[in-house]
């Protein structure tokens, strides 16, 4: 019997290939003892073995065929066992099933109750991979590479929360790095501003018409802030964190880098390749610009360079690296997608290539940087501004 299902707490950022980005992030949070909703992940291996068992491992398979196919007994048994652990003997728990692609985040959620309904939801997620729009994302060069369709499914116990919101580990309006801002969802039920240094409450407000049980408490605000500091320390950058509170238990639902910040120059060996979009002060950084090319995909990222003078032998890509190669072909997208950014010496992408790159990889890329593989050195830290096609020495201050 294969390992088709894994506990979310057993995966981390290294498991993107078989757990997908969403589940890998949840596992990474669990690994550093950040509270996330209990759950498990139905792996990409389960998806592939399901297709093979039903003779559907073909690009010509259809959504209808996948939905009508039966899940093998050993797979269904594992899903049932893991689902049972989330509930109790007398009550079936509601769970949230979320597609977890190795290539991108998918903001789709299925709320179900009962293991039979969960299996139907899993098959719906699998079947969606054979929609025409999904197949178009593969591109003609990879039409027979079904690994590009791989999908996992994250299943988590539903959090029945009366309190949920967003926490920023620096002020999103003023970019004040000394403050943490917490905003409750809805009509701004609660808003806290705390000192990052000592978790002292600098400001708080509550809507007077909201029940006290629906408002954040001072203790919850401080506990959330402590988690926020931990996450910023782990991921190096200021974070935007979604949270939910059920019966006074705090759960972290997701985290991502804030959209308006980037930290000081350094190498980030344990930073996962989750997408982020910081801003760059070009006026201050102009004197450190090393190279310039053609913008291929926007975004700003910082990391150590890794050079491959032969693009056909790219291997063991690290999520912290920026790859520098003579060129990149569409057939390599599934290999390179873990890296933080890309620099190529030739500008060979068609408009169609750029569209597929954005769907599958979606990381900053600069093409047409002449002599990049000789001008840069493996291990040196650079910053890419994909929108302007510029490469800067070091990180950003």
Q: What is the pLDDT of residues 216-260, one digit of tens each?
A: 888 999 999 999 999 998 877 888 899 998 888 899 988 887 765
Band (143; pLDDT cuts 50, 70, 90): very low
Mean pLDDT value of segment 16-22: 84
CA pair distance 150, 229, nearest whole angstrom: 34
Band (106; pLDDT cuts 50, 70, 90): low
Q: Which of the pair, 345 or 268, is modelled with greater confidence?
A: 345
Contact of 363 with 273, CB cutoff 8 Å: yes
Mean pLDDT value of segment 123-134: 78
Of the candidate ranges 173-187, 204-218, 249-263, 295-309, the one whose mean pLDDT is the lowest: 204-218
Band (263; pLDDT cuts 50, 70, 90): very low
Count of H-run helices and E-run strands, the chain: 11, 19
Q: Give the per-residue pLDDT at 356.
A: 73
Average pLDDT over the chain, rounded to an integer: 80
Mean pLDDT value of segment 352-373: 83
Question: 3-state DSSP: the chain helix, strand, coil percent, rounded to 5?
Answer: 35, 25, 40
pTM of the model: 0.60
CA pair distance 285, 283, nearest whole angstrom: 6
Band (194; pLDDT cuts 50, 70, 90): very high
CA pair distance 21, 24, nearest whole angstrom: 5
Q: Residue 358: which H helix or E strand, with range?
A: helix 351-360
The domains of the chain, with CATH numbers, are: 5-157 (3.30.1490.20), 163-257 (3.30.470.20), 282-393 (3.50.30.10)
């Amino acid at each position: 019997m294969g390992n088709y299902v894994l506990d979310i707490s057993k995966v981390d950022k290294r498991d993107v290939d078989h757990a997908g980005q969403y589940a890998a992030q949840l596992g990474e949070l669990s690994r550093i003892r950040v509270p996330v909703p209990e759950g498990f992940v139905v792996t990409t291996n389960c998806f592939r073995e399901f297709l093979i068992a039903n003779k559907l491992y073909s690009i010509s398979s259809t959504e209808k065929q996948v939905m009508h196919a039966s899940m093998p007994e050993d797979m269904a048994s594992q899903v049932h066992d893991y689902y049972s652990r989330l509930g109790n003997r007398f009550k079936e728990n509601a769970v949230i099933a979320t597609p977890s692609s190795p290539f991108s985040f998918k903001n789709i959620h299925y709320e179900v109750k009962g293991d039979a309904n969960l299996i139907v939801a899993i098959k719906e997620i699998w079947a969606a991979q054979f929609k025409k729009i999904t197949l178009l994302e593969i591109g003609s060069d990879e039409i027979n590479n079904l690994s590009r369709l791989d999908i996992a499914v994250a299943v988590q116990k539903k959090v029945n929360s009366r309190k949920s919101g967003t926490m920023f580990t620096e002020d999103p309006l003023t970019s004040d790095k000394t403050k943490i801002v917490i905003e409750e969802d809805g009509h701004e039920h609660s808003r806290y501003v705390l000192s990052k240094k000592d978790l002292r409450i600098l400001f708080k407000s509550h809507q007077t018409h909201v029940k006290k049980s629906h408002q954040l408490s001072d203790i919850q605000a401080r506990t959330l802030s402590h988690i926020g500091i931990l996450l910023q320390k782990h991921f190096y950058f200021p974070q935007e964190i979604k949270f939910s509170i059920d019966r006074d238990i705090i759960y972290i639902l997701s985290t991502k880098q804030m959209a308006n910040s980037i930290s000081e120059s350094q190498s980030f060996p344990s930073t996962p390749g989750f997408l982020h979009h910081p801003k760059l002060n070009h006026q201050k950084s102009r004197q450190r610009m090393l190279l310039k090319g053609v913008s291929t995909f926007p975004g700003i990222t910082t990391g150590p360079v890794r050079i491959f003078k032969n693009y056909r032998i790219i291997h063991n890509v690290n999520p912290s690296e920026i790859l520098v190669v003579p060129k990149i072909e569409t057939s390599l997208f599934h290999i390179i997608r873990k890296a933080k950014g890309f620099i190529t010496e030739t500008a060979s992408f068609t408009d169609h290539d750029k569209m597929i790159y954005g769907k599958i990889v979606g990381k900053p890329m600069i093409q047409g940087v002449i002599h990049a593989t000789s001008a840069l050195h493996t291990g040196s830290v650079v910053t890419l501004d994909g929108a302007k096609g510029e490469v800067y020495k070091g990180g950003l201050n």
